[in-house]
Chain A
């Protein structure tokens, strides 16, 4: 649904494995190692969010602001010239929601916190980030299981393609939540790897990026999101992916033009198998696939991190193997696909190429 020519000019990642801009991400991808634990420490944030500002920001809002700042800094985009914001999240600021409820449950109405309440609404990361970076155009929070990050990039690319906004910050963020983790494990979903962190890309029209002499890290040539038939939270049977078809068509690409894929596998075995079947049917079984989710854990930030990773692969011709080693495969540089598939059938496909 996107016309060609959306440039990626900035990358910001805040995660347990890597924190930094496109260079830091590239260094990590060249020798990818799983982090010791999925949780992200406070130390990485201190340099990006000052203590006075941090007083009023929840942990997940701090991730978001830090990653947005990294991406914006790398891009050199001036928010005053018009900047929109789209952030995908699966769980929002659930920690603040628990804390808000706990205040009441422990102490009654006097224990309610006016400061925490705004964080119980999922748009809190967008609201605080818009303030922190001065984004005054459209600002959306997209909530979706599994594919919220990819969806945010696709949505932002569509806004740029139709000329509505001069530049977009597109990101994803999630925080591990102990209550959700405990309940999912009890319900038999403990095998899936879940993680936390935030990632952003700065997107702008190719012509605008070139005109201001920006370094273009990669290009989102096309993006599409669609739905596949499946029961809510279920895994479907169809092997035909309308999102991949739409994205390839919009990018004027044939399946053979896709040299490699970043897929959304995360050790949710039924969903992972469905995605493999879709990718196999669309691109053939030979196309190399990297599933960083097995390494970094599924969270909305990962969807955006994979778009940034795809820009790196398009430039370098390297694709991190995700078989538990730190091996990197040589692949064909140039165009590849970022694919996300959620239980319930929402799926997103982005064609990403080199500058």
Chain B
């Protein structure tokens, strides 16, 4: 799966699991930051990140190691879709 396809799946997760308004999800781009408190971000907090990682595990069939610091991968849609695409390739 290419990062672009991964990105589309992530946008779908934003709506289905994180309960974002579909219009808000559609406005996001690869560069949109994820964490709350960052300028222009979609505003995810710690609980959202847990939900997101469960959804990623379910949708892509990969395991997210909660003991590993994944902060850098969860910085933006771009970093996250690359991280997932990489995991899928190595799987």
- Which residues of A are in contact with B by a Cβ distance under 8 Å? 51-52, 55-56, 107, 110-115, 118
Residues of chain A within 8 A (CB-CB) of B72 are none
CA distance A118 to B47 in the complex (A): 10
CA distance A115 to B20 in the complex (A): 13
Please pick, from A52, A110, A115, the residue contacting B47 in the complex, using a CB distance under 8 A.
A115
CA distance A111 to B20 in the complex (A): 18
Interface residues on B, range: 10 to 19
What's the minimum C-beta distance from A105 to chain B, rounded to whole angstroms?
15
Residues of chain B within 8 A (CB-CB) of A118 are 47
What's the minimum C-beta distance from B12 to chain A, rounded to whole angstroms?
15
- Name the CB-closest residue of A to B43: A52
Closest 7 CB pairs of A and B: A110-B58, A114-B50, A114-B51, A115-B51, A55-B19, A114-B47, A114-B54
What's the minimum C-beta distance from B76 to chain A, rounded to whole angstroms?
19
What's the minimum C-beta distance from B58 to chain A, rounded to whole angstroms?
3
Residues of chain A within 8 A (CB-CB) of B43 are 52
- Name the CB-closest residue of A to B50: A114
CA distance A107 to B59 in the complex (A): 11
Beyond A52-B43, A55-B18, A55-B20, whether A111 also contacts B58 by CB under 8 A is yes
Q: List 15 A-B contacts (CB under 8 A).
A: A52-B43, A55-B18, A55-B20, A56-B19, A56-B48, A107-B58, A111-B58, A112-B54, A114-B51, A114-B54, A115-B17, A115-B47, A115-B48, A115-B51, A118-B47
Residues of chain A within 8 A (CB-CB) of B48 are 56, 115
Residue-by-residue, is B17-38 near A (CB-CB < 8 Å gives 1, otherwise 0)? 1111100000000000000000
Contact A115 B19 (CB under 8 A): yes
What's the minimum C-beta distance from B15 to chain A, rounded to whole angstroms?
10
- Name the CB-closest residue of B to A118: B47
Residues of chain A within 8 A (CB-CB) of B21 are 51, 55
B57 at the interface (CB under 8 A from A): yes
CA distance A12 to B7 in the complex (A): 43
Number of A-B pairs whose CB atoms are under 8 Å?
29
Contact A115 B58 (CB under 8 A): no
- Name the CB-closest residue of A to B59: A110
Residues of chain B within 8 A (CB-CB) of A107 are 58
What's the minimum C-beta distance from A264 to chain B, rounded to whole angstroms?
36
Residues of chain A within 8 A (CB-CB) of B17 are 113, 115
Residues of chain A within 8 A (CB-CB) of B20 are 55
CA distance A115 to B54 in the complex (A): 11
Residues of chain B within 8 A (CB-CB) of A113 are 17, 51, 54
Residue-by-residue, is B34-71 near A (CB-CB < 8 Å gives 1, otherwise 0)? 00000000010001101100100110000000000000
Residues of chain A within 8 A (CB-CB) of B18 are 55, 115
CA distance A52 to B45 in the complex (A): 13
Beyond A52-B43, A115-B51, whether A110 also contacts B57 by CB under 8 A is yes
Residues of chain A within 8 A (CB-CB) of B50 are 114
Contact A110 B54 (CB under 8 A): yes
- Name the CB-closest residue of A to B20: A55
- Name the CB-closest residue of B to A52: B43
- Name the CB-closest residue of B to A57: B19
Q: Which of A51, A110, A113, A114 has the most CB of B within 10 A?
A: A114
What's the minimum C-beta distance from A108 to chain B, rounded to whole angstroms?
9
CA distance A55 to B20 in the complex (A): 6
Residues of chain B within 8 A (CB-CB) of A115 are 17-19, 47-48, 51
What's the minimum C-beta distance from A307 to chain B, rounded to whole angstroms?
34
CA distance A118 to B17 in the complex (A): 15
What's the minimum C-beta distance from A113 to chain B, rounded to whole angstroms?
6
CA distance A55 to B19 in the complex (A): 6
CA distance A113 to B54 in the complex (A): 8
4 new A-B contacts at CB < 8 Å, known A110-B58, A115-B47: A51-B21, A55-B20, A112-B54, A115-B17
Residues of chain B within 8 A (CB-CB) of A111 are 58
CA distance A111 to B58 in the complex (A): 8
Q: Which of B18, B43, B51, B57 has the most CB of A within 10 A?
A: B51
Residues of chain B within 8 A (CB-CB) of A51 are 21
